[in-house]
């Protein structure tokens, strides 16, 4: 079964296909052809995930999965949240901005969220789920793996930032893998792949 991933991010499709393969599902995620850049003007991760999934369906009229994710910091009223990707110009500047805003704040609880929406070939929402990964904002960046805010996100019950975990370790606990596993179980339990 092929599913169009509503994204233009090659890193994301690679990460997702690695998880799928490791779990032994016969599903391949592919990117839409050409530029894919719908306007994400929703107010929640769920809204934006639905916007992206519908936009991919409009282009392909086939199975489409979208995800929308970001970092929510409780002391900052859940910012950067849906603005995570555009909180500052570069990944480095985004990290510096968060560390600066958190400079004098002791309460550092945060979570990554990932909302996924699966649309069927009829254009209807088939399944949706939001995965959460809890942790804390570090006082300084650490680690070389991953992307985005990984170097400043200390995973709950560990002393390690997300960027100190290798790909397999991150895929065990990440918000994206939690949501993806729910989507894959749904596809399997509903026998959707067998009809394709």
CA distance linking residue 144 with residue 53, whole number of Å:
31
Q: How many CB atoms lie within 10 A of CB 65?
A: 27
**Joined tokens for residue 113:** 């969220």
Residue 193 · residue 30 · CB < 8 Å: no
Least Å distance, CB 129 to ligand IMP, is 15
Rule CB under 6 A: say whether 135 interacts with ligand IMP.
Answer: no
CA distance linking residue 100 with residue 77, whole number of Å:
16
Rule CB under 6 A: say whether 177 interacts with ligand IMP.
Answer: no
Which residue, 19 or 71, is less far from ligand IMP as judged by CB? Answer: 71
- The residue annotated as part of the active site, out of 68, 77, 150, 167, is 68
- The residue range among 31-39, 123-131, 146-154, 184-192 that interacts with ligand IMP, by the rule CB under 6 A, is 146-154
Q: Which residue has the tokens 């970001």?
A: 70
The widest CA-to-CA distance across the chain, in whole angstroms, is 56
150 as an active site residue: the answer is no
Rule CB under 6 A: say whether 128 interacts with ligand IMP.
Answer: no
Rule CB under 6 A: say whether 151 interacts with ligand IMP.
Answer: no
The residues that touch ligand IMP, with contacts defined as CB under 6 A, are: 67-71, 84-85, 112, 146-150, 162, 174
Active site residues: 68
């Amino acid at each position: 079964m092929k599913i169009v991933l509503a994204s233009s991010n090659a890193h994301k499709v690679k990460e997702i296909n690695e998880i799928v393969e490791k779990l032994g599902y016969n599903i391949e995620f592919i990117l839409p052809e050409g530029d894919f850049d719908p306007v994400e003007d929703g107010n929640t991760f769920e809204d934006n995930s639905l916007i992206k999934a519908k936009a991919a369906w409009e282009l392909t009229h086939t199975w489409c999965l979208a995800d929308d994710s970001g970092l929510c910091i409780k002391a900052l009223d859940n910012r950067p949240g849906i603005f995570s990707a555009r909180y500052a110009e570069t990944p480095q500047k985004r990290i510096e901005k968060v560390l600066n805003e958190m400079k004098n704040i002791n309460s550092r609880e945060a979570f990554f969220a990932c909302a996924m929406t699966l649309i069927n070939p009829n254009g209807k929402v088939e399944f949706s789920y939001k995965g959460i990964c809890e942790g804390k904002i570090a006082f300084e960046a650490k680690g070389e793996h991953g992307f985005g805010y990984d170097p400043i996100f200390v995973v709950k019950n560990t002393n390690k930032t997300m960027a100190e975990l290798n790909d397999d370790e991150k895929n065990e606990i990440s918000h994206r893998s939690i949501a993806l596993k729910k989507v894959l179980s749904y596809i399997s339990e509903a026998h959707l792949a067998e009809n394709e």
